[in-house]
A and B are shown apart, each in its own frame.
Chain A
Amino acid sequence: MTLVHRQSTIPVAGPPAPRYEGPNRRTPAPPAGELVDSPGFPTAARRELDLPVQRGNLHQAMTTIRTKRQQCVSELDHWEELRLAGEAIKNRTLRHLDSYLVQLEENLTAAGATVHWARDAAEANRIITGLVKEALADEEVHYDGTGVVGDEVVKVKSMVTQEIDMNEALEAAGVAAWETDLAEIIVQLGHDRPSHFLVPAIHRNRAEVREIFLAEMGTYGKPAPPDLDSEPRNLAGAARLHLREKFLRAKVGISGANFAVADTGTLVVVESEGNGRMCLTLPQTLISVVGVEKVLPTFDDLEVFLQLLPRSSTAERMNPYTSMWTGPTGGDGPEKMHVVLLDNGRSRVLADRIGREALRCIRCSACLNVCPVYEKVGGHAYGSVYPGPIGSILTPQLRGTTSAVDRSLPFASSLCGACFEVCPVRIPIPELLVYMRNQVVESKKAEAKSKPGMPFLAHGEPAAMTGAAWMMADSRRWSAATKGVGLSGRILGKADHLGPMPWPLSKWTNARDVPIPPQESFRSWYKRERGGGSR
């Protein structure tokens, strides 16, 4: 397979564009620091846990969407068959990804689109920025509204453009990229980062949204009405007026794609608001950035995924807007259409026989919604564009396991397994979490080998794990060790529970009591009562 052989030349996902720090920002600045610089999940999670309003918002939203999904899915008797079909189609696609991509390119080209290939984030941003500059070069601005006017593009909500941090790359090139998805504009205006695939502002409540709109909209376009209240319909109305101006004057639209159909050259976007459709139809130039794993072999395959995706993501039988486009059509919609096919680490994931199952992901976010860990901390704790259970396996695969955050992500789960139950394409997330944990341990071992000093396995956790495993490999060692526990039980005497204890046990006992160990292990009791076991 060609893509597999390319592994050596494409090691990991390229770094996304850094935050633009120069003069004259045209869009609200995101928070300082890059995602990959995150201190690691446990530290970031502690920070997020300390936000009571966010915790309340998340708890309420997650509970609602979990219940709705369950109802929506249970309407279909053949849900499991649909999941199996989704898994099978994606597996077949990934097995022959090279030929489906070539077919997709041929049919996109035949339909009048221009196809570009990008190996990593930097290459994709270079291509996109070039295309945008070219499209805007002869632009005449006829606009007499409020706010900043000039080079700008409107965007359909897209995970992959976030993955490469395209907005910051465009900002650095003097182009304002405007998010148009309602939740995404809340995040953008809030100088924030998305917290969820599908509902990026899920960590915000309506009062917070009102404050953001009142404070920020006027700086970047049509201001919010001064008497804006926090009624959802009025908030949506303010966003509609603010965005409408941007839709009407933008000459370039940028989208991702939920699916890219190889045998017809059709791109598909599913959404709930219709704002995406405005971006897809109004501008003169449309640029679609598509991860190479988004391919589906045939148009008929959509039958399966247009059932799986909305029920899994928004708990809807059908999403309100499904847009499909097969090249530009004169006098109807964009006149020029570009498609950027992005690798950015995907071929590396594909080359991993076990890890590649993560590439089946259709970004429905069902695994986030059901994850008890995500519900407590939200998306920001993950230090990744892809949060939650799927992000915890996909991100370290795409980026590699060298940074603190990528090394901590596979451990950001209690392995409860709820994510696999809801995954519409049956990605064995718990197994892949364990697999990635091993990759992290192995990468630390390899790193330690090249450094002088104490060997990796002699450090705290590795020493504890290897020591305990060594003890468990032999019942005589285990038996000898357990005698000490009984002894400690006798020393501790009559207390019911152990209170706070020193580190590292304090990690457990800071909030939980532990009963004192019994005075005699089962093994000793059995030997005493039954005179020894067999073997």
Chain B
Amino acid sequence: MATKPGEGMRVALFATCANDVMFPDTPKAVLSILERLGCSVEFPEKQTCCGQPFANTGYFDETVPVVRNFVDAFGGYDYIVGPSGSCVGAVREQHEMLAEHAGDAGLARDVSLVAPHVYDISEFLVNVLNVTDVGAYFPHKVTYHPTCHSIRVAKVGDAPMRLLQSVKGITVLDLPDSDRCCGFGGTFAMKNPDISTAMAADKARHVAGTGAEYLVAGDNLCLLNVSGVIARQGGGVKPIHLAEILASTEGSAA
């Protein structure tokens, strides 16, 4: 076999706080894909959160130490890869603003050194490693929800779809109105729960209509929101993170 695409690359795994605690299978999947492709993966233990939940709720002053912790944890890596378009987008789009808000030139400099090296797993695979076929096998019908922050903040484009379509055995079904928000929106789901669930119900209805067995996305919290409604309605469509599909192989029991 030729050299693996990630051979010689040192990659920091950015697990994200929500995945760390609620969905540990997702960062495990990222680790497994990256190692399969030859990357040398490290998990900087100092990492916690990107700060987005606090910044997006308006608590800028309180978020600044979280940003400081992020650059301390990930400084020096050429590749920082995480399974969340939302968190990756927040690092790239918000950290500079927060450093500016704090009037902290040192932090702004550190942010400018770290943020451009942060990638969502899908764009890292397609745009950096130049692979779409990662050797995955997933013999199921799936439909893909491109989460808002994946497409509009992290701007991962069609990378997730290209990866999915290269998975062996998979059937990818079109999701109507796929680019409409599922209603999660971080604290929006708590501040405006009724609208949030009405939006999630629309998404759940579209998902159910595809006949898919799995709903795939690149952000577990959006999946949590939609699948929470699906589960309450007694629907059988299972949520799954894109990375977990990509990590599945013929050898594994997916």
Contacts and interface: CB of A to CB of B under 8 A. Distances in A.
Whether chain B is bound by chain A comes out as: yes
Interface of A: 41-42, 45-46, 49, 372-373, 376-377, 410-418, 420-421, 430-431, 434, 437-442, 461-462, 465-466, 468-475, 478, 482, 485, 496-497, 504, 507-515, 517-518, 520-523, 525-527, 530, 532-535
Interface residues of B, number: 73
Contacts of B189: 414, 507-508
8 contacts: A415-B148, A415-B149, A437-B57, A440-B58, A441-B59, A469-B62, A510-B197, A518-B24
Contacts of A534: 42-45
A475 B45 contact: yes
**In the A-B complex, the 7 residue pairs with the closest CB atoms:** A414-B185, A512-B228, A437-B58, A416-B181, A417-B152, A473-B65, A522-B24
B166 interface: no
B66 A469 contact: yes
B130 interface: no
A535 B45 contact: yes
Contact of B194 (A45, A410, A509): A45
Given A511-B229, A533-B45, A534-B45, A469 B183 contact: no
Contact of B153 (A376, A412, A417, A518): A417
B20 A523 contact: yes
A461 B199 contact: no
Contacts, number: 207
Given A417-B152, A507-B193, A535-B73, A372 B44 contact: no
- Looking at A42, A373, A510, the one whose CB has the most chain B CB atoms below 10 A away is A373
B26 to A, nearest CB: 8
A471 B54 CA distance: 12
Given A49-B195, A415-B148, A512-B228, A472 B181 contact: no
Contacts of B59: 438, 441, 462, 465-466, 469
B186 to A, nearest CB: 7
Contacts of A468: 53-54
B55 interface: yes
B68 A522 contact: no
A434 B198 contact: no
Chain B residues touching A, majority SS? helix
A372 B68 contact: no
Contacts of B20: 482, 521-523
Nearest to B225: A512
Contacts of A533: 42-45
A533 B14 CA distance: 12
B17 interface: yes
B22 interface: yes
Contact of B190 (A418, A434, A469, A504): A504
A417 B149 contact: yes
A29 B93 CA distance: 47
A533 B195 CA distance: 41
B51 A469 contact: yes
Interface in B202-249: 202, 224-225, 227-229, 231-232
Contacts of B148: 414-418
A523 B45 contact: yes
- Looking at B180, B181, B192, the one whose CB has the most chain A CB atoms below 10 A away is B192
Contacts of A512: 197, 200, 225, 228-229, 231-232
A471 B232 CA distance: 32
A420 B152 contact: yes
Contacts of A507: 189-190, 193
B80 to A, nearest CB: 13
B21 interface: yes
A508 to B, nearest CB: 6
Contacts of A416: 148, 152, 180-181, 185
Interface in B110-133: none
Contact of A523 (B15, B51, B225, B227): B15
A372 B181 contact: yes
Contacts of B48: 471-475, 478
Nearest to A524: B24
A458 to B, nearest CB: 13
